[in-house]
């Protein structure tokens, strides 16, 4: 079973810009094996993906952190939130835990 934490930020940047910034910030590689859904692989098998707005909607950036171990996803999410807030000055809010 996959556990996911969804974070919403206050920034309006493209998926490519966000992936590059997050990859550098988190010192992790971008996995482009599926060009339509590039992701960043993080510690403990957690994957960070970015939700793309549909039909030209101007929505803030949405980050999904997913993995099979709930505790690992939650720990990595806390690290991501701290770094994004401290180093990129993005406001990040947890909106969904599933």
- CATH T-level fold of 3-97: TATA-Binding Protein (3.30.310)
89 burial level (CB within 10 Å; 0-12, 13-18, 19+): exposed
pLDDT at residue 66, rounded to an integer: 97
pLDDT in tens, 9-57: 988 888 889 999 999 999 999 999 998 889 999 999 999 999 866 665 6
pLDDT in tens, 48-57: 999 866 665 6
* Cα distances (Å, whole numbers) of residue 87 to 6, 16, 40, 71: 20, 19, 18, 24
pLDDT in tens, 56-71: 566 678 999 999 999 9
Q: What is the pTM of this model?
A: 0.89
CA 9 from chain center: how many Å? 10
- Phi, psi of 97, rounded to the nearest 5 degrees: -125, 120
């Amino acid at each position: 079973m996959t556990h996911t934490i969804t974070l919403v930020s206050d920034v309006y940047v493209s998926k490519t810009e966000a992936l590059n910034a997050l990859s550098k910030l988190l010192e992790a590689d971008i996995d482009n094996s599926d060009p339509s859904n590039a992701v960043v692989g993080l510690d403990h098998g957690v994957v960070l993906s970015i939700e793309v707005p549909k039909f030209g909607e101007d929505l803030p950036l949405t980050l999904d952190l997913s993995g099979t171990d709930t505790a690992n996803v939650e720990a990595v999410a806390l690290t991501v939130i701290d770094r994004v807030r401290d180093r990129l000055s993005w406001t990040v809010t947890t909106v969904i835990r599933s």
